[in-house]
Structures are given as C-alpha cells and as structure tokens.
Structure 1
Amino acid sequence: MKVKKYTAQNLPEAMKLVRADLGSGAVILNTREVQVGGFFGFFTKKNVEIFAGLDQDVDYHPTKNTNKNIVKEKQAVFQDEELTKEIRQLKNMVHSLTVQSKSADDAALFIKEWENFLLSQEVDLTIIEELIPSLSNKYESLDEMERDSYDWNTWISSYLSARMAKSEFGGFHYETKFLNLIGPTGVGKTTTIAKIGAKAVLKDGKKVAFITTDTYRIAAIDQLKTYAEILNIPCEVAYTADDFKKAKEKFEDYDLVLVDSAGRNFLNRFYIEELQRIIHFDKDMKNYLVLSLTSKYRDMETIYSQFKSLPVHKVIFTKKDETTTYGSLLNLAILNSVPIGYVTNGQNVPDDMFEADADELVQALVKEKLLHA
C-alpha cells in the first residue's frame, strides 16, 4: 500500500488534497490536529493532518467485470462509513480544541488587562512579574462561570497586602518624646507637623511643643508659629546646634516635641550632613521621612536611600488627594520594606491625615481600576 501524509488548514481542504492525489480509492488511515508556529505556546495555528493510503494492487477504475464492480461498491461504502466516523471524531476534536483555544485567549487578555493596569499605577515590574503567575494559576483553576463572578479586585488586594506584610504600618504613639520630620522641599512637612501636633493636643490631650530648623525660608517659620499660636503651644527656632540643644532642654518635660527640619534638595549628600550637624539624632528621637505621592518612585527611592543613615524610622506620604497613582507607595513598602506611618490627603488640620494601613492603601490602588473600567 502506498501511504502519504497531507496537511491543510481544515478537514475539507485536506480531503481535497487526498482525492486529487490518490483518487476516490484512497483509504483514510489516521487524522489528527496539529499546532504550528506561535511563540512560547501562544498564537499557534491549528492544522489538520491526514494519513491516507492507496492499495496499488486493486484496480479502482471502472470495468465491465461485475464482480469487481461489486467489490468496489462495498469498499466505497466501507470507506464512506469510515470517513463519516473520522469526520465525527475530528469535529469533536476541533470543538474541544476550539474551547481550549478560546480559554487560552481569554486568559491572555485577562492577564494583560491587569498587567496594563498595574503598570499604569507605576507598580514596579518586579512586583508585577511575581504576581502574574499566581494570578494566572488562580484563573485557570476556575471554570468559565466562576471566573465571571469571581471578585478579582479582592484577590489582587489580598495578594499585594500580603506582600506588604514585612513593612510596619501605623502612626506615632508617644513611644519617644521627640519626633523629627525630614524630607525634600515642597512635600508638606510643616503642614504635616501641624496635623500631628493638633491631634496630640486636641484629641490626645498631650503637652506639645514645636522646634524648627528651617531657617532658610522665613515663610516656613511664620507658618509653624501661626500653627503654634492657634494650638496655644510654644515654638522655638534653632539656627545652630547649640540653639537646638537649648530648645530640647527647654521642652524636657513635654509629652511630644515636633521638629520641622529644613526642606532642601536632599539628592545632594551635603544637605544630609548639614542636617546632622544641627540636630542631635539620638535614641530619644524618631525620624519620619516625608515624601509626596506626586513624586516619581525612583526619586523617592533615592531620597529614602540618602536618609537611611539618620536613620528613617517611618515614612509619611503626603498629597494623596493630588494623584490617582499609588504604585510608588507599594514599591517602597514591598521592595524596600519601608515602614509607613501616615498618609495625608488634604490641607485641613488635623483632619486630612490618617494612620497608614496596608489593606486600605492597596484597596485605594485597586479602586482606580473600578473607577476607570
């Protein structure tokens, strides 16, 4: 028997090739679907592959011999039955493969949608690449109906919250007397100090004082003094290290002393050293680094790295109300295990500030997907 293989895009085309080459006497030996092309398993094409044979010892051309014609007719009926059976099997196979292909396409689109959203939120690619396999496995574990009704926002939130577990969250609880706010210019340190001070005085009934070393901007001194007058608390200006030491001694019996340091370009190491010369960074002082959520993540990471030598005990993120992108916050918490104390979301003192909570911060990010769906 002469056996040949034929490959085409679908079964009808493959059968045409068989008939054209071997004639009506061809016998279908085997059929199957094969995947060709593609990249890493995606975007492959489905072809049909048929193995057909022709018995060269049998005369398939019409003759006047009746017995031969009868044999030929019986063979044709048998071949038709076999072909019908093969076609039915192929249809079932094609349907199954079509369902599988649709599922793979749906999964790829679903994963890509979340990937694009997280990238738009400026979540670091390292975090996204760790999340995607888990998200894909979860998707594949559900059937089509379950996928449609599943709460994917909660799943993503839970995953990211768990990744943030190494970071410490929560505000200042009077564990030390001196709280020093440091950070670059324009991030809202003075207003944040006023919010913490107002909460301590008005809500917690604490005895509070202010010290400012921001002598580069007269407006900053005036602003802090105005807040001090409103809260009826003292405020000292420290121009030198001796001034700062005297101010600390003056407020020795206070519950909380908040220090407003100069806002400068802290990408320059010189300003960190200058800050260290004026302020006594001892065990009685906690340092909270203030960063704006409107800043780029790489800049935040560089500033945090500059300040780590002080050290930084917690980070305060400001201006949440001025952005809809929260990836930088997640990046610092997950990739650098940065402890986060507070998040501010407006100018109102002391209301527009809340203690940081991993679940709430992640939900704020995921909520943006719902708002722009």
Structure 2
Amino acid sequence: MNNIKTFTASNMAQAMAMVKAHMGSNAMILHTRSFKQGGFLGFGAQTVIEVTATVEDEKPRRRKTTRTPRPALNAPTRPPLVGPSNPQPMAGDLIRRTYAAALSEQNQQAQQPQQNYENNSTFNPPQPIITPPPVHPASHRPNPVQPQVSKTQAKESARTTESAKQLAEEMQAVRRMVERLMQQQASRGEEKPADLPDQLFDQYMNLLKQEVAQEIAQEVVTQVSHRLTEKELENPAKVRKAVRDAISEFIPAHHEQWDLEPTGDGRPRTIALIGPTGVGKTTTVAKLAATFKLKQAKHVGLITLDTYRIAAVDQLRTYADIIGIPLHVCNTAAELDSAVSKCSGCDVILIDTAGRSQRDDPKLEQLKKFVDTANPHEVHLVLSSTCTQKVMLEAAKRFSDVRTDRIIFTKLDEAVSFGVLLNVSKQVGKELSYITTGQEVPHQIEPTAPLRLADLVLSGELAS
C-alpha cells in the first residue's frame, strides 16, 4: 500500500527536504509544480513549490517479546536459529564490491568455464542454520507444549529464508546492471569504474545518479584520475573539487555576464528568443528587459510576435508599462521591420516570438522568415529543464535552422535533476547564456556560470 502526500515550500530544496524528513530517502516524486501566490500584477508575488511524493509502506515488523517459553521437563534444549553474524553492508560498499566481483569474473572467463552464480557470487546471502528436531525415544517424549515451540521456530525460519531470498534477488539485479554497464564500457575500450579509487568511484556513482550520461561521467572521472596524485585521490574534498572543475569544462557558457558587447554595425544589440510552446519565453524576455533597464540602466526596446496568445501580449504590456519601456506588437514581417527601425535609438532590442512545435515545419519556416527580417545579433533557444533529454535534443535539432547560437535553460526550480542539462549542453554544442530559477520578475534569472551549473549537477539541489 502506498502513502501519497503533497508538500509545499518556497523553493525546491526546502520541499525536497520536507519530503525526505516526512517520508524518508526512499520516497518517490510523482509530480512537481510551481505557482504564484499573492502580489499584484505579477510583482511581489511569492513562488510556491508543490511536490507530490509517495513511499511504499514497510512490512510490519514482528513484535519483540521478552517472554521465553519454559522448556518441558526432560525435554532437550534445542539450539536457537543462527542468522547472519555480520551486519548488512552499506549500499555504496555493496555496489562497489559488486563491481569488483563482476570485474574479477569477467577477467577469469577466458581461463575457466562459467560457473553457476549461486556458487560463484561474492554476495551469496548467508543461509539460516536450522537444526533438525531431535528424535526422542518413546519413553522420553517431550511435553505437549513442545510442538508449539517448533511451530514458532518454523515461522521464524520461513521469514529468514524469505529475507535471504529477497536479498539474493536484489543482488542479482544489481549484478546484471553492473555487468551490462561493464560490457558497454568494454565495447568502447573504456577504463572500468571498478579500477577507480573509492572517493572517485563515489563521485562517478553520484554523476550517474544525477542522470549524467555514462560516457560523460566516465570522461570526467578519467580526467580527474590523471590530474590528481594517488594521495590527493584519497581526499574527498579535493576529489569533489576536481570533479566540479572537470564538469565545468564541458559547459560552453557565454562569459559576457550582463555586459552588452559592441555590435560593430552601429545597430542596437538585437536579441531574439525562440523555442517550443510553454518553455517560458515571455517571462524570460520580461526578466531580461527589467534587468537591462533597471539594473544596467540601458535603453530597451521590446517587440513581441506572440499574437496567438492574448494573455502573453497583455502580460508583456503590463511589464513594459511598469518598467517604462515601449512595446511593439507585430503580426507580419513588414511590421517587424518597422518596429526594429523605431527602436534604432535603443541600446538593446528584445524580441519575443510565438511558441512553435518542433514538428510544425510551416510554422518553423515562418519563424525563420521573422528572424531573417529582424537580423538579430543573438538568437537564444529557450528550453525547459522539466522536459526530457530526448525532447530537448529534438527541439535543438529542429530549431537549429533558425540561426540558433545560444541556449537558455528555464524552470530549474522545477527540474528533477540537473545532469540532463549537462548532457544536452555537450551534445548541442551551443553556448549557454542564461538560466532561470523561478517566475519572479526581474529576479530569478542569471548568466550561466560553468561552476554554478557544475555545483547543481553534483548536489542535485537548487541552492540560491
């Protein structure tokens, strides 16, 4: 039976902490969402994170009792059931030893025939030792209370056997996963994780847990193993820092921060945001406009092509009125060309486009014509970090024809893990410009810093 609970907090890290505190580390996230609460016209509203989670109920434990049944007169004392004498290994040690065992067997397969797993495994769970009941002579039969003791011992034996069987099944599943992983690595000639020092191995497993692609995780730990000395590899802090630095090198971030580079053609720096529907383009444009106007004291021109959604135009117009910048609404390429000309005296022009399905070729072609008309210096593809890696990669591929040269990751506050962002960044190969961490305008947007994203990947939490 599952317990399903919903938690609300001001940020994702706090919400996840509440889930862990109330439901334990085995809780499974079913759904996350964020919404605004309070405020006026989007200003001053508080972001609320809602997380729904579930956890399997544990099987009820048998109540312990201090009462011991009194043995019958002249009945021989039966030895107690003997369970495992050693404590269960921790999960990390268990997996590490499984890797080592699988590697050892893989190296021995060429010299000797494959043996049965039950006889060969390093992790055969200890079987309970059950002493058979003694045979009593007819003249010395035990008291009738003895059969009740035997029944109790039989139940305990069944429970112990069931627990051992369950452990064996779990270890076989881990073993199969490890062997598949090792076979994939062997086919590519990669160094096997079992050869890694303990601290580096732990970091490798953490990267996989955060959904970093296996080949990237392998490359990261390989680089670190070559950069650190044998003694440094025993230091957890130094290993983590080296892994963090290596991850940051995979992130092609743009380093201009909030500064606007000279355009070289005498035009205002023109920035267009494109992307699928619902990724947060309009809110991101509003954040950029407010930041350049209020924090950088720039003269900003705002253009929207998102006339398909009346709410989007009204939302952007409200923001434009509050921060005191002009908004131009365009339906055609000619209107767009005129609006760009009217903004010629600005420092920066921001263009919000309508969301497009990456599979709608006619709409993508229309978007391409708009972008060609505006001739922006930067075209940012906006991707939501709540999407799967497959969806983000498909969007990046289909929008590449629209002169995309940079990536914005939005909704990091709703992301389940950040390893996917690293995978997409490496595969797409475009510079990362900004990340957004909530819906508040003008806050919760920041230039992408490689070390900042590396920290997110390692910790799995969005720390402010």
**Separation in structure 1 between the aligned mates of residue 316 and residue 249 of structure 2, nearest angstrom:** 39
Cα distance 1:182–1:142, how it changes in 2: closer, same or farther (>3 A)? same
Structure 1 residue aligned with 2:260: 174
Structure 1 residue aligned with 2:241: 154
Contact kept in structure 2, 1:207 and 1:254, CA below 8 Å: yes
Counterpart of 2:209 in structure 1: which amino acid?
Answer: S
Structure 1 residue aligned with 2:207: 118
Structure 1 residue aligned with 2:288: 196
* Aligned-residue RMSD, C-alpha: 3.3
Counterpart of 1:128 in structure 2: which amino acid?
Answer: A
**Separation in structure 2 between the aligned mates of residue 37 and residue 365 of structure 1, nearest angstrom:** 32
Contact kept in structure 1, 2:336 and 2:374, CA below 8 Å: no
Cα distance 1:186–1:41, how it changes in 2: closer, same or farther (>3 A)? farther
5 Å-filtered alignment, 1:271-350, equals: 271-281=363-373, 283-350=375-442
Counterpart of 1:38 in structure 2: which amino acid?
Answer: E
1:39 aligns with 2:106: yes
**Separation in structure 2 between the aligned mates of residue 151 and residue 41 of structure 1, nearest angstrom:** 35
Structure 2 residue aligned with 1:130: 219
Deviations 1:229-262 (A, max 9, x none): 1111111111111111111112121211111100
Between 1:200-209 and 1:265-274, the stretch displaced more is 265-274
Deviations 1:204-234 (A, max 9, x none): 2111121111111111111111111111111
Cα distance 1:170–1:325, how it changes in 2: closer, same or farther (>3 A)? farther
Partner SS for 1:114 = helix
Deviations 1:25-50 (A, max 9, x none): xxxxxxxxxxx97213799999xxxx
Partner SS for 2:249 = helix
Between 1:127-136 and 1:245-254, the stretch displaced more is 127-136
**Separation in structure 1 between the aligned mates of residue 359 and residue 430 of structure 2, nearest angstrom:** 19
Deviations 1:159-204 (A, max 9, x none): 112233x553444633342111111111111111111101111112
1:226 aligns with 2:318: yes
Contact kept in structure 2, 1:289 and 1:316, CA below 8 Å: yes
Counterpart of 1:142 in structure 2: which amino acid?
Answer: K
Structure 1 residue 135: Cα displacement: 5.0
Between 1:114-123 and 1:344-353, the stretch displaced more is 114-123
Cα distance 1:147–1:274, how it changes in 2: closer, same or farther (>3 A)? same
1:358 aligns with 2:450: yes
5 Å-filtered alignment, 1:19-98, equals: 38-40=105-107
Between 1:294-303 and 1:324-333, the stretch displaced more is 324-333
Instruction: Look at both structures and tell me which one has the larger radius of gyration over its CA atoms.
Output: 1
**Separation in structure 2 between the aligned mates of residue 130 and residue 187 of structure 1, nearest angstrom:** 31
Aligned length: 276
5 Å-filtered alignment, 1:200-215, equals: 200-215=292-307
Between 1:106-115 and 1:248-257, the stretch displaced more is 106-115
Contact kept in structure 2, 1:169 and 1:340, CA below 8 Å: no
Identity %: 32
**Separation in structure 1 between the aligned mates of residue 377 and residue 228 of structure 2, nearest angstrom:** 48
**Separation in structure 2 between the aligned mates of residue 349 and residue 294 of structure 1, nearest angstrom:** 20
Partner SS for 2:205 = helix
Consecutive unaligned residues in structure 2, runs of 5 or more: 1-102, 110-116, 123-192
1:265 aligns with 2:354: no
Contact kept in structure 2, 1:170 and 1:342, CA below 8 Å: no
**Separation in structure 2 between the aligned mates of residue 283 and residue 204 of structure 1, nearest angstrom:** 24
Consecutive unaligned residues in structure 1, runs of 5 or more: 1-35, 47-103
Structure 1 residue aligned with 2:157: none
Contact kept in structure 1, 2:298 and 2:348, CA below 8 Å: yes
Deviations 1:104-142 (A, max 9, x none): 979576565434322232212221232344455678923
Partner SS for 2:292 = helix
Deviations 1:305-347 (A, max 9, x none): 2222221121111111112411122123333322011111111
Structure 1 residue aligned with 2:56: none
**Separation in structure 2 between the aligned mates of residue 107 and residue 150 of structure 1, nearest angstrom:** 16
Counterpart of 1:337 in structure 2: which amino acid?
Answer: G
Cα distance 1:139–1:232, how it changes in 2: closer, same or farther (>3 A)? closer
Contact kept in structure 1, 2:199 and 2:236, CA below 8 Å: no
**Separation in structure 2 between the aligned mates of residue 267 and residue 142 of structure 1, nearest angstrom:** 53
Partner SS for 2:106 = coil
Partner SS for 1:359 = helix
Structure 2 residue aligned with 1:253: 345
Greater helix share, 1 or 2? 1
**Separation in structure 2 between the aligned mates of residue 340 and residue 37 of structure 1, nearest angstrom:** 42
Contact kept in structure 1, 2:197 and 2:234, CA below 8 Å: no
Contact kept in structure 1, 2:367 and 2:402, CA below 8 Å: no
**Separation in structure 1 between the aligned mates of residue 427 and residue 215 of structure 2, nearest angstrom:** 9
Contact kept in structure 2, 1:37 and 1:45, CA below 8 Å: no
Contact kept in structure 1, 2:272 and 2:376, CA below 8 Å: no
